[in-house]
Structure 1
Amino acid sequence: ANLSSSSANTSADEVDAIEMTGFHFIVSSFLAPSTVYLDYLRVRKPALNPPTASFGVEQDNPATTAVIELAPAGMIRVFPNPASDLVQIESRLNEPLEVSLFDPLGRLVYHGQQLGAIDLSSLSGGLYQLVLRRAEDRVVVYSEGLVVE
């Protein structure tokens, strides 16, 4: 990174704070609690100046890949968590949902249109990401880490 110590607190693996007028990123995954892994990060000063930090591949006009409108607390239940053979998903939302489950490397390992019991018996142990989207417009309404034992 090309940052001065007055504008950021940095180490080889993390940036704690950046004081600039432009900042955007694309999130890759949430593999550990309170940790965000980035595929792309660009920090810019005002538009007349060149970028001052860059990580990953820069894209001038990236498309929006996800919109998140999380469901109110208590509207979706996922249990048990941790799970070994089956996980149960219940929704009190009055709309069809798509279920996606991603492995620790971000690969899609399950996709379905039905809630209820999902068979996990063929999966290796680890932290998976469960994502529920509205079927109509694919907006994310729920996301949770699921521990498979």
Structure 2
Amino acid sequence: TDRPAVLASFAPEVAACAASTVGDPVARDVLRAAARHLADSAAAVCPDTGEDRVALTGGLFKMGDPLLVPLRAELTQRVPHARQVPAAGTPLDGAVRIAVDLAGDRLTLPRDEHMLYVMTEKGTTLPSVPRKGDSPTLSDK
């Protein structure tokens, strides 16, 4: 069973309940919590230096304002220096770019130790570009 797909299949109904004229408070809370988690991910990969871009990609964003309104508020609070931009491609394009950058020793990973760290034979470190022979494992805490 594809558990993420099963859970994601409820998203349109949750959005519809949140957007109804009465506005189901539980559905709104679910979407606010989702917005917080998405903003946490954006904050992990957007350092405080420079101008960063955040692209909202994937099917969840098709639900519109019930998710986008709380998400934009969270992004403004968590990563005020970042600006929202259209996606430069598909999620597959992004995965290919990461693989190419990793193979070319040009990949930079997020430096938020709460979101991502690298485990090597020598111990746990902050994210860095894995080197040949390190056998790194990316994991969340």
TM over 0.5: no
If asked which structure has higher relative contact order (CA below 8 Å, sep 6+), I would say 2
Q: Flag the structure with higher helix content.
A: 2
Q: Flag the structure with higher strand content.
A: 1
Report the structure number with the largest CA radius of gyration.
1
